[in-house]
Chain A
Amino acid sequence: MQFSEMLKPENVRIVQSVDTWEDAIRLAVKPLEEGGYVEPCYADNIIEATKKMGPYYVLTEDVALIHGRPEDGVLKQQFAVTLLREPIKFSEDSFEVRLLVTLAAEDANSHIDAMRVLASIFCDADKIAQIVSLDTAQEVYDAFVEAAAE
């Protein structure tokens, strides 16, 4: 599946701040819920998994790849991106995060092409710094699409 089919412009959002990490999860999952890509229980299942395993989706400074398992309520594979102006911490000892990328995966592998694009961004601290400072959701979307074209 092409990257442009995995990330829709309407699923990229910028939000000023959240009060709790649970709110961050619900907010980051919301575009996928609204678009019919995940069931409403998906966010709750990720929150429950976090309580058991810790924030397993925080990859590095400023980056979380929020996701549950396919059976946690995924309907169709898709990504969403939420950029927080004020960072949130998902646990005492984890990094502060501003870029929340939410993944709905149908299985372990079929999102491989999109993951390659995301990994190229996640591994590049300069690119992350650039993305978190963008002004509009459209610019954030464009940054992901440009990375996919590289």
Chain B
Amino acid sequence: MGKLRILTVCGNGLGSSFACQMAVEGVLKGLGVDCKLDHDSVSSVASAARNFDMIIAAENFKTQIESANTGLPCVFLHRLVDKKEIEEKVTPVLKDMGLL
């Protein structure tokens, strides 16, 4: 597997998801995981998913993202920029993927 590709998602794909992307970037750097991140809107998830290995979004988009049936591991956050919460929730997924 090359770089882990993560998509952060919010309503419009340019504000909250962008801030979240940067928080995730910081966490993964700290964990020593090489990754490539991007952000997009929740309405684009179904089509964008094939270019990614993991999706991270706010809890309020859970139903919408799950119904997109991306087949990707999804992490849902209460606080989009909380590095502690991100690390706690992403670490088990990375372990499942064999990256940690």
- Interface residues in chain A, defined as those with a beta carbon under 8 Å from any beta carbon in chain B: 49, 53-54, 56-57, 59-61, 63, 65, 67-70, 103, 105, 107-109, 111-112, 115-116, 118-120, 122-123
Do the beta carbons of A116 and B22 come within 8 Å of each other? yes
- B49: Cβ under 8 A from any A Cβ: no
* B residues with CB within 8 A of A: 10-16, 18-20, 22-23, 26, 39-40, 58, 60, 79-83
Q: List 10 A-B contacts (CB under 8 A).
A: A56-B60, A57-B15, A59-B16, A65-B15, A67-B15, A105-B15, A108-B13, A119-B18, A123-B23, A123-B81
Closest to A63 in B: B81
Whether the pair B19, A68 counts as a contact (CB closer than 8 A) is no
12 new A-B contacts at CB < 8 Å, known A49-B12, A56-B58, A61-B79: A53-B11, A59-B81, A60-B79, A60-B80, A60-B81, A67-B12, A67-B16, A107-B14, A108-B14, A118-B19, A123-B26, A123-B83
